[in-house]
Structure 1
Amino acid sequence: MMHALYICCENPTELLGVVAREIQKQGVSLQGMTMTVGPEVSELNVTVQGEESAVNQLTFALQELAGIVCVEDLSAEEQEWFVTAQICEVYS
């Protein structure tokens, strides 16, 4: 099953190593990754494929290791809101 993870942060390049390591460790496959860099907050979008339990372990591991909070599988309308709202106080 495909899962889209949205990570809002100040500098997505700092998270690349942690995210890549955990993707490999949890046994899910990376399908795509994009970065949007803004003046105040940026976004790292990661699309992975794997079992629901493995993706749950991935999001849990990211939270534990780097304090990353992931938002999963947003609709097109929610994605637009997520990008424009720039909730930097909620996501790290």
Structure 2
Amino acid sequence: MNRLKLIGMNLKRELKVYQRMLRHRRTPRTAKLLLALAVGYALLPFDLIPDFIPLIGQIDDVIIVPALLFVALKMIPKEVIEECRMTAEKEGS
């Protein structure tokens, strides 16, 4: 149960970091678009491949969202990511 709680807290913190990156002026537009698509795809109730299709329906969530996040984070300058993480941690404390 503690592990699940920790995962939830980490997810909440990461969402705050992504939200800050979306608003940061130095985040490239393409990265903002990919980041918004990743968060939106993860949170919206519909998928490109419906979840009721065995195995494939769940795999798309495991592949699409991390891939979008990976590409977006590669485009964002390291300084911006660090700044957003620090401000999110300060706000969370």
Q: Report the TM range for the smaller structure's normalisation.
A: 0.3 to 0.5
TM (norm. structure 2) is: 0.33
Identify the structure with the greater strand proportion: 1
The TM-score normalised by the length of structure 1 is 0.33
Q: Would you tell me which structure has more helix in proportion to its own residues?
A: 2
